[in-house]
Structure 1
């Protein structure tokens, strides 16, 4: 049965914040800080509304250069955000993060868009940008986890090889858990969105398999390469 996805009006969208207010009330009642939560919610709201407006323009422009520029900006932002929890010189780490995210993303997206989806043209924004966003986010989180754990282990005088292995394993835990839970505990975003828009669950499942492979691979490759580049650090003994 085909059914188009309902358009959410702004008054209806406001209802989604009711359970959010419950969480903020709990924080207030327990004397927990709410400032960061409110800031994050406000930033989320503004960012998503702005990106919705901007992406509408990008989709209509059909410009390869505009899509490429947007992807580069996404790489730089994801690389910087990945370093938030890592206690080490940010300038050097930023360069490593950019290299790691770029290489893992180009490899993964090339195989997915040209091998699996056979996307034409390659810069088809409505397909490439959402997929790239998933890849960048996965790489960003993986580098953040692996970097934080890696430098914590080095601070405890652990050898580079042992710290690398521990950090890599830690960074892959969320992705391995996601593989184990998908279809049983959760229906992830891609599959849920397609089912809500009326796509057959069998087709949606194929797309979700593609996305899970894409996210797992980008996380693993970016984390491994970031840790490989960290070997050049003087105090990262082998």
Structure 2
């Protein structure tokens, strides 16, 4: 496997600079892409050192704490399109944790058959992929659901439209894999010297679990939001408005 040096990695700044130039000429906000790229680099370097420590000292308590932290951050990021509405946070955490947790169990116990569930080398990479994809599905579903309600659409129609929108990236990735692209995990395994036929098995597991986790997460989120909708007339912001009944005079 080829090892990338830090000096060679510096060439990765070229695409960042190119996009920053586009930002600067078109919107005047080049700092957005530059800060995002810098944050990404620092986060990944920091995570790299943390993972090295976790891999050398596996612990169920530490692994559990990392998973809780990942769920919390992913839930907060998922609500960004709806301005982090507080009443959406609890259903987001429930949808993300339940959906990704179920598919982690299927992967670790039924498919891979690990002896210890908290092995960091296995559960953290898988959890990262499942949480990230489920987060995106929930985010898309929530934003579309909120928008549909704001436009005065009935709740069942808003729910269906939101779910279909959330599943577009999931379905597209299934249709394109192998023909248009080789997914990241499979590419990484092949570059590290693993047989493509072995890498294919892992990638099939990842793709199906991501599909299920994202779809179930979006569905569970929309189901909770639908139950939270009180009966009554919808207001301009898509929520329903209850008017207290007139008391007998």
Native 8 Å contact 2:74 2:132 kept in 1: yes
Question: 1 CA distance for matches of 2:127 and 2:26?
Answer: 39
Q: Can you give the 5+ residue segments of structure 1 that lack an aligned partner in the other structure?
A: none
Q: Could you tell me how far 1:60 is from its partner in structure 2?
A: 1.1
2:201 is aligned to 206
Tell me if 1:159 matches 2:154.
Answer: yes
2:97 is aligned to 102
Deviations 1:144-188 (A, max 9, x none): 100000011011111111100000000000010000000011000
Question: Which of 222, 227, 233 is the equivalent residue of 1:227?
Answer: 222
Question: 1 CA distance for matches of 2:119 and 2:26?
Answer: 48
1:22 is aligned to 18
Question: Which of 185, 191, 194 is the equivalent residue of 2:186?
Answer: 191
Question: Which of 70, 75, 78 is the equivalent residue of 1:74?
Answer: 70
SS at 1:14's partner residue? helix
Matched positions, count: 232
Question: Which of 46, 53, 56 is the equivalent residue of 1:50?
Answer: 46
Question: Which of 119, 122, 126 is the equivalent residue of 1:131?
Answer: 126
Question: 2 CA distance for matches of 1:31 and 1:121?
Answer: 50
Q: Could you tell me how far 1:100 is from its partner in structure 2?
A: 0.2
Native 8 Å contact 2:78 2:136 kept in 1: yes
Question: 1 CA distance for matches of 2:181 and 2:15?
Answer: 20
Larger Rg: 2
The structure with higher relative contact order (CA 8 Å, sep 6+) is: 1
Q: Could you tell me how far 1:233 is from its partner in structure 2?
A: 2.6
The runs of at least 4 aligned residues of structure 1 exceeding 2 Å deviation read 25-32, 233-237
Question: 2 CA distance for matches of 1:39 and 1:23?
Answer: 12
Q: Could you tell me how far 1:58 is from its partner in structure 2?
A: 1.0
Native 8 Å contact 2:20 2:31 kept in 1: no
C-alpha RMSD of matched pairs (Å): 1.3
Deviations 1:6-30 (A, max 9, x none): 2211101101212322222233344
Moved more, 53-62 or 220-229: 53-62
TM-score, normalised to structure 2, is 0.90
TM-score, normalised to structure 1, is 0.94
Q: Can you give the 5+ residue segments of structure 2 that lack an aligned partner in the other structure?
A: 241-249
